[in-house]
Amino acid sequence: MKSLKDIAELLEELELRIADELEDQDLDFKQWDGKSMDKAVQLLIRMAVCMANGGGGTVVFGVADKVIGRAAAILGVPPEVDINLLKKAVYDQTDPKIMPVFEELRIPEGTGRLLVMQIHPGLPPYTDTSGRGTIRIGKDCQPLTGTLRRKIAVETGETDFTAERVAPVDSAMLSPVAMEALRNQARAERAPDDLLKLSDVELLSALGLIKQGQFTRAAILLAGTEEALREYVPAYNWTFLQMKSDTEYGIREDRMSAIPVSVRRLEELLLPFNPITTLEQGLFHFEYRTWPEIAIREALMNACCHLDLRIAGPIMVKLYSDRLEISNNGGFIGGINPGNILHHQPAARNPLLVDALTRLRLVNRSNLGIGRMFSALLIEGKEPPQIREIGESVSLTFMKRELSGAFRLFVAEESKAGRDLSVDCLLILQHLLHHPEIETTAAIALCQRDAAQTRETLVGMEKAGYIEHGGTGKGAYWTIRAELHQQLVGDGRSDERRRIDWEAAKTRVLSILMDRAKRGEEGLSNKEIRQITHFDRNQVFRLMTELRAENSGICAPGKGQSARYVYEAN
């Protein structure tokens, strides 16, 4: 949810962007219906239900979401609208009851008053008293269909497929190979020794995988024979493909085996294609693989844990010449998406299975696994994994990249000096090694943090001597320090290149504006300048602010979608 301070800062963006562009999973802007109080209240109730089903969030009433220009977009809420009556309306007309929190935000535009409705997370599904409901997915409120209701039931643990009892306890259904692999992998992660010394049935019972004298599906997944898996978890299997092209493959292996055996075998299949690079540091030689083993292990375990076992289809591991793709059926749950997965509260599709693996220390329930994948790649100077949701499946891609010895040594030296680099710092540094600068808004999206956390990271990095900033306010940007750039890539001209690119962009825009003025044509919009320069909206605003200061002939663009910069000769 957003604080009043966060919202006030976002309102400043309305000079350049429409409110719809500022919306997110947990934030929406709505115009207040000043003609009909009944319609306004019904919108309020719909948004309360939508946000409650989507994990909670903030709705700002009094802002038109399709208008550029702060004065035009901020209309406000009439002063006679009573907050207490709104609370009562939402409470009376929702099921289960939703208790919103309302806050007032004073602004100079419109009626001078915005209403901010905060909806705290609860236990969905929620509907209005007529049974109608929607759920927040991304920036939209989508109908609460049967499929989405089932998804909510999965998220709340009401329908844990792995927790269902399937067969009486019978040691013949357990694979000795699977139990050995399970113990070995858990022992390597320093799981409690007293737990690992138990007999097979005692161990599964201690993990909660045996209920009322019966195996659960989770027990079969962790330790079952192939025959038991085929009978009780028929949708679970995996396929490995070593791809020669997008349509042809060389090596292929299809198997149905318990999770510990599956992970071990897939790691063995990948090993010949995951070569070692040796990095010399003084008298020591350090070895690094193309894809860090910890990243591969975390990705495979994630695929196994979050697999939707009601959908037939294998865990797919595809090895291409330039990348490794790991995918599984079952889309994201619990409000997680590729844009927030790095720091989002974890949500388990198969809670009992995840709980058992957590106790064995084979997975982490605190959402550290994703961070470990990112960190393992970033510290070696490689790009982080690409995570996508495709329909009802999730795909994770590791690109094949060379080790950056200079960057790896830099991280090691910083760690030795007591300065361990966070994932956020690593993401920003890697971005700046490939781009001349980064603005705060771009860093927010890159790090998947809020504005305050991102600014704190950027300021901390500046104090540490990694980066420096230029510009002020909306025009602020950050660049990597020239000395550090030279240390990491052997080129100290990064700032010079940025200046040249920036000045070249100004020269080109000015030339086009002057040519259009000579021909009597209209000027350039922000969108057209973005296409010319390949800058984003904020960079164009900063560029044109500087250009206008240097050239009095360029007129202010005005406001709205038809606004254009025009050159008028003195």
Question: Concatenated DSSP letters for 271-318?
Answer: GGGS-EEEEEETTEEEEEESS-HHHHHHHHHHHHHS--TTS---EEEE
pLDDT digit string (tens) for 3-22? Answer: 999 999 999 989 888 999 99
**Which helix (H) or strand (E) element contains residue 259?**
helix 259-270
Please name the residues in contact with 140: beta carbons below 8 A apart, sequence gap of 6 or more: none
Digitized pLDDT (tens) for each residue of the chain, 570 residues in all: 899 999 999 999 898 889 999 998 899 999 999 999 999 999 999 999 999 998 899 999 999 988 889 999 999 999 999 999 999 999 999 999 999 999 999 999 999 999 999 999 877 889 999 999 999 988 899 998 877 776 666 665 556 889 999 999 999 999 999 999 999 999 999 999 999 999 999 999 999 999 999 999 999 999 999 999 999 999 999 999 999 999 999 999 999 999 999 999 999 999 999 999 888 777 667 889 999 999 999 999 999 998 999 888 899 999 999 999 999 998 888 778 899 999 888 778 899 999 999 999 998 765 678 999 999 999 999 999 999 999 889 999 999 999 999 999 999 999 999 999 999 999 999 999 988 888 888 899 999 998 889 999 999 999 999 999 876 665 678 889 888 988 988 654 444 455 557 777 888 888 888 888 888 888 888 888 888 887 778 788 888 888 888 888 888 777 766 788 888 876
Output the pLDDT for position 561: 66
For the record, the structure tokens of 407 come out as 């960057």
Phi, psi of 341 (to 5 degrees): -65, -25
Cα–Cα distance, 557 to 567 (Å, whole number):
10
For the record, the structure tokens of 434 come out as 């490939």
Question: With the C-alpha atoms ordered 207, 211, 215, 217, is the resulting torsion angle positive or negative?
Answer: negative
Whether the CB-CB separation of 283 and 134 falls below 8 Å is answered with: no
Output the pLDDT for position 146: 76
Q: Which residue reads 């991304």 in tokens?
A: 138
Domains of the chain (ranges, CATH numbers): 4-149 (3.30.950.30), 161-232 (no CATH), 238-399 (3.30.565.60), 412-492 (1.10.10.10), 497-567 (1.10.10)
Whether the CB-CB separation of 15 and 526 falls below 8 Å is answered with: no
For residue 441, give the amino acid letter: T
Please name the residues in contact with 5: beta carbons below 8 A apart, sequence gap of 6 or more: none
For the record, the structure tokens of 358 come out as 């957590």
Cα–Cα distance, 41 to 54 (Å, whole number):
20
Cα–Cα distance, 428 to 447 (Å, whole number):
8
- Cis before 192? omega within 30: no
* Number of residues assigned to the chain: 570
Cα–Cα distance, 295 to 258 (Å, whole number):
21
Cα–Cα distance, 5 to 353 (Å, whole number):
41
Cα–Cα distance, 143 to 50 (Å, whole number):
9
Q: pTM here? A: 0.69
Q: Where do the H-state alpha helices sit in 382-522? A: 405-416, 423-434, 440-447, 451-463, 482-489, 494-519
Output the pLDDT for position 568: 86
Q: Which residue reads 């927790």 in tokens?
A: 163
Cα–Cα distance, 271 to 111 (Å, whole number):
65
The two most distant CA atoms of the chain are separated, in Å, by 93
Whether the CB-CB separation of 155 and 55 falls below 8 Å is answered with: no
Output the pLDDT for position 441: 85
